[in-house]
Structure 1
Amino acid sequence: MAHRGNWWRYIMYDPERDRPRVSRTLLGRVYRYARPYMGSILLTLLTIGVVSLLELIPPLLYRELIDHTLPNRDFGRLNLLAGIMVAVPILSGLLGVFQRYLNARVGEGIIYDLRQELYDHLQHMSLRFFTHTKSGEIISRLNNDVVGAQNAITGTIPNIVTNTFVLVSTLAVMISMEWRLTLISVIVLPLFILPAKRVGRILREIRRRAMELNAEMSNAIGETLNVNGALLVKTFGRARYEVERFRRINRQVRDIGVRRALVGRWFFMGLGIVGALGTALVYWIGGRFVLEGAMTIGGIVAFAAYLGRLYGPISALSNVQVEFAQAMVSFERVFEYLDLPLEITDRPDAVELDQVRGEIVFEHVSFRYPTPPGKGEPAAAAEEQAPSPNGSGVSSVEEQSPVSDLPALPTRLWALEDISFHVEPGELVALVGPSGAGKTTITYLLPRLYDPTEGRILLDGH
């Protein structure tokens, strides 16, 4: 796959694009989901701290081995150090597994609660929501965004905590070993921080765009690869158009993936170069300290090992604000759906019918279909169109087809206007009228898929 020399466009960043913002309200809502798992979260933090301290031990063992054990030919101490070198990673690994278990338990629990609440909320949304919302968008919120929130709980946030522990503990040990060399090592930190912040913003923009494209692709698949969608595509001869539409989206998904891979590769190559520069600087200046007797050979080896542990957390934490905000984007997108108001709700004094006789009364009922954003006034004739969400058909076919399937009545503001009738229990009633007269609308109002705009509908007098 060639890109004809335009590789640079994959690492460009537009600072004018929207940036994620983390508010106290958003954090409070996330905390509400995390609160039932607070015990496991605190235990996870404790485990992270213990693992971070254990990982400080090996460089000290190297110093002891080089400075004292080998020169003194102390075989007993050599065996002890070798045993500790084996025991530390085993213990650290076991604690890491336990930490991972806690992360998964907390993350999966929070996501289970979040996904279930979102699904329950969507089940109570009115029919209008599903007719005006693409099914691919809904599926993307339930799958992609919820999984993104899970990654924030099990990945991003634990990584921030871990890197903070490692950074603080490593710096403390380095300062205790040789404070002058520690200050010199800090000189190269801007070479980590500045590129990391820049690349972090680029990756944040790429991830957001990738989420949008994945939602668009899910919608395209949902529109055309179901029974209703396939029927419309074949009926109107739109196969070539839909293939090209999917090709365009698929190409954008491919390009955004290439861009993300290229940005990451350049960044990590730069980190490797800067890390090598810092290590060389430590050995060069530390070697002078050794020659002057201010530092031991084992000390400089241990110090260089700690330096390698220092740069990774610094580069990660330098972009912590953007990374954390990006992690919160998935929660924000899920909360957008949870905040959608319910249009069909029961009154506090609603009566629950134990036995339904079947008496139906329409009293001066008028109804107009809600207008989708940007569509202007609703048309009464649209009531004869089955309420197929954009995801269950092909919107492009419906919008662009020269064939109108609603020719019988001119469009008007009201689908039903001042309708009254009374149906006794067991009575058989037929709804007769031309297309667009309101027959389908009545069948939508009976099960309360919509509420009437004016008037009221009674079932057994309620």
Structure 2
Amino acid sequence: VARKLRFLRRRSLEFNAEMNASMNETLNVSGALLVKLFGREKREMAKFADDASRVRDIGVQSAVVSQWFFLSLGIVSAIGTAVVYWGGGHLVLTGVFTIGTIVAFGAYLTQLYGPLISLTNAPVEFAQSMVSFERVFEALDIPTEIKESPDATSLPVAFGNITFDHVSFSYQEEYGDQQWGLTEVTRLGWGADRTTLLKRGKKSNGNGESDVMDLVQEQATDQRWALQDVNFTIEPGELVALVGPSGAGKTTITYLIPRLYDPTGGHVLLDGHDIRSLTLQSLSNNIGMVTQDTYLFYDTIRNNLLYAREDASDAEMVSAAKAANIHDFIAELTDGYDTVVGERGYRLSGGERQRIAIARVILKDPQILVLDEATSHLDSLSEALIQDALQRVMQGRTSLVIAHRLSTILAADKILVMDKGRLVESGTHVTLLANGGLYASLYETQFRNETDVERMKEVEEI
């Protein structure tokens, strides 16, 4: 019974986790919008009904097994009591026992059944509880990828010199006989066999899903290197632009600088220190980053800005908002800085979220700025405002920008051109165009149209 209930308990937790994951995906702002845009309401309702029915069925099955177990214990105690009185009555009639002796036996037997039932039930409850502990320990046993060295050095104020020394990186780095990164998670239960589970614990459904996963893993093995032998140096105060086709490794470079990942090979140096020898807090204090996906908490604009520096004054917060050219917009809102932005900031436009994110990093006042496609979601007017603000903010700071706009590239002191994880070109706009390499090709296909549009605007203004 304990084994059966343990199995049912484990399946119940898995089904509940799967149902909650479906709810989180489809009922958040982005998921609900996607469902409506593609008209998949009935499909999602049927999917949720299926998940909920499995949770219900496994709950009913667990309850039935438990009740049968307790029913069996009750029947045993009832039969025992009946046997005592039936046999005792016969012995009383034959004069062997007195009535008082039989009544005493019945009382003793009742007192004995309580502890016996409790002792019998303890292993069952323990087995079910162990399933919860297994899932907790699964999370606790996940190895920490980024560890701070016990003798790590604190860097109060960085000068901003960044060096990539033969850096290679793979999202599928192997640790012993296991793989971590963009691979399927291997879950290990106590006493369970090693099993690779698909998304949300679903195994192969017989429709070729496992074959698809094998194909994806084979392709991932062929493309395992996100960066290969990358070498460059950014001097303090320089503005460096990262360009290249999609999947070239630009974002990976920006993730290695604040040590969101450790390089598989080579070294990332900050002011001559390997970043693995520095404390994580000092890295965080010296590096400010605006990521591809601007994330705002379901909170007020004020609290989202103060997340960068909780001790910042209102004057400093307003100054940062003005530098990002978002203060005027906030001032026009009914609640001003106390306006709630909604889940992930959905009540704001993409450009407004972007400018709030930039104001947040300005308020942090780091020595190093990393802007990962920070201007890619802005209209022309917003981009002009942001470019003007960033030119002031970047003065005296080391800045690395993933650039998709020609104006950002032309303002850079140095351009790094990435392709398939390798640094293929480095230099200024003029020199790279003269070389006729990948940058010149990207300029012709991606940036030349931008130049033509700017010229047309100038003609119209004249």
Task: State if a TM-score over 0.5 links the two structures.
Answer: no
Q: Which has the higher helix share?
A: 1
TM-score of the two chains, using structure 1 as the length reference: 0.44
TM-score of the two chains, using structure 2 as the length reference: 0.44
Q: Which has the higher strand share?
A: 2
Which protein has greater RCO, CA pairs closer than 8 Å, 6+ apart?
1
